Amino acid sequence: MASFTLHGIPVSRGIAIGRAHLLTPAALDVKHYLVPVEQVEAEVKRLQDAIAEVHRGLQALWTELPKDAPTELGAFIDVHALILSDPMISEAPLDIIRTRHYNAEWALVTQIDELSAQFDEIEDEYLRERKHDIQQVAERVLKVLMGTALSVPPVFSGDDHAPPSMIVVAHDISPADMLAFRDRDGGPRSFIGFVTDVGGQNSHTAIVARSLDIPAAVGMSQASRLIEQDDWVIVDGDAGVVICNPSQLVLEQYRARQAALGKARKRLLKLKKTPAVTKDGTPVKLMANIELPEDCAGALEAGANGVGLFRSEFLFMGRANVLGNALRIPSEDEQFEQYRKAVVAMKGRPVTIRTLDVGADKPLDPTEHTALNPALGLRAIRYCLAEPQLFLTQLRAILRASSYGKVRILIPMLAHAFEIDQTLSMLEQAKLQLREEGVKYDPDVEVGAMIEIPAAALALPMFVKRMDFLSIGTNDLIQYTLAIDRVDYEVAHLYNPLHPAVLMLIAQTIAIGQKAGLDVAVCGEMAGDTKLTRLLLGMGLREFSMHPAQLLSVKQEILNSDLSAITSRTRRILRSYEPDEIAAAVEQLQSL
């Protein structure tokens, strides 16, 4: 068999080597025919029965969910159950059968195609990905209608003594289907990687793959058509590369890399309890970025000093009005319980909770009007100040959680003094309400600003005068500084964290913040990039916040860093405006 390579989007690190197991979309095999008038109601009942059976199946999956399964899986099953109950799925196809006399499968696919077209018009990437959830739910119904089921492959034949593990290859795969690849005792069966034609960084396949720490590559376009059942496949999750039917030489090379990565991980685990201190004795804080309270376990396992960024919007996003259901914002008690869980789980370590970061580019309701330039529209703190009751509810919930441990509040996308003042005023209002109600909270809770807009970085004095700490959100800071939409593939190659303007803004923020006596952290992707660790140390950064999986690698860089040598080199880098010179100098920092 000829070998070939596919390139896609890396979403979960590591290397997986195994045999391909293809999941073929049931929709591709759908028959199209007209039902006689006298059989229409029988066809309606056939679809109703299939929907009911899928409902029972999802309920069974939830009931049998292994105790060690990632929390995201249960949440995704709930989302799929809600979608299945929506009239757009449970009733609209029945009308198509009655009015057009389509067979059940054809009617369902017709309705799903119409819904998918509507979702394609949504600009926000996260919400656009939810189209795949609708398609996955339809897949489950189609499998029941057609009498097929998700099959788990037999033991593969191969040249190894042990049966090789399998790599799931599909156009798309739902989190619920992933559960079919687990043993009854809850342990992993033999799947070790995922490859899908569709999806992006925010797709559910990507989220679950990361939560399971399984190599995955998505956005492969034609993978499910080009790769055949039982093909040997290599998934390079770091590069987003899939190699099908590799030569023996390539196979051996990747096996060697895989073994080396395994040994490196084991070595890194030994650093868990080692303090992050540079060679010259300078301590550095390593914090974790989390989306859900359950992520705290991974943060502690990696030895995090605390949570530097709790992205609270993930508590809201699952409530989105996906198919016309009533929008339901989590109540104050619901939010409080989630924040409290995180604070208690971190056992006295600080938890920095970022207030709701949604808006025109991440609307809670995808049916609402989307701005022409969503990244520049009503989002983050602008959205919260425009929805004062929603914001006040969240501030009250966070304050209530502060009575259980160290909590800090982080405000995203600030640019104006009046935004800071209005935010602090609302916080005081929340405190007053809780005092009047006799509810406990930490009166000295710290409030910080995310520096992610160039205007904020260039007007820091008004921030250091009002705030308790600063956190640099490098993802948006780079995007806004360079006027680049980082999810637009046509300009993504221009997204450069080493652009001299970006480096100048970061270095200036660190210097001014520290001079004013404020803690300054970096919580964007740059914090977890080991190639940039020494550069940030040389700028004076002493607090990094990143995904827990990146923490030990960054700690290793810190332990091997000599600040005296790094600082002088970094000053020279910051004086340079030539891209090649900057890139070469940053690379040289790695050898110091």
Positions annotated as catalytic residues are: 204, 523
Q: Is 571 annotated as a binding residue?
A: no
Q: Could you give the CA distance from residue 228 to residue 167 in angstroms, rounded to a whole number?
A: 12
CA 459 to chain centre: 31
Q: In what order do the strands lie in the sheet with 241-244?
A: 4-7, 241-244, 232-236, 15-23, 166-170, 191-196, 216-218, 9-12
Least Cα distance to 352 among 298, 287, 442, 422 occurs for 287
Q: What Cα–Cα distance (Å) separates residue 354 from each residue in 26, 205, 297, 407? A: 41, 25, 19, 11
Least Cα distance to 502 among 451, 438, 563 occurs for 451
Q: Is 476 annotated as a binding residue?
A: yes
Helix (H, G, I), strand (E, B) or coil at 486: coil
CA 571 to chain centre: 34
Q: Could you give the CA distance from residue 413 to residue 463 in angstroms, rounded to a whole number?
A: 12
The dihedral through the CA atoms of 29, 178, 71, 486 has a sign that is negative
Q: Could you give the CA distance from residue 178 to residue 214 in angstroms, rounded to a whole number?
A: 12
Angle of helix 40-63 relative to helix 71-85, nearest 10 degrees, comes to: 160
Q: Could you give the CA distance from residue 460 to residue 510 in angstroms, rounded to a whole number?
A: 10
Least Cα distance to 361 among 121, 200, 123, 118 occurs for 123
Least Cα distance to 512 among 470, 559, 568 occurs for 470
Q: Is 311 annotated as a binding residue?
A: yes
Structure tokens at 113: 């195609």
Least Cα distance to 130 among 144, 116, 141 occurs for 116
Q: Is 486 annotated as a binding residue?
A: yes
Q: Annotated binding residues for phosphoenolpyruvate, as ranges?
A: 311, 354, 475-476, 486
Q: Annotated binding residues for Mg(2+), as ranges?
A: 452, 476
Q: Annotated binding residues, as ranges?
A: 311, 354, 452, 475-476, 486
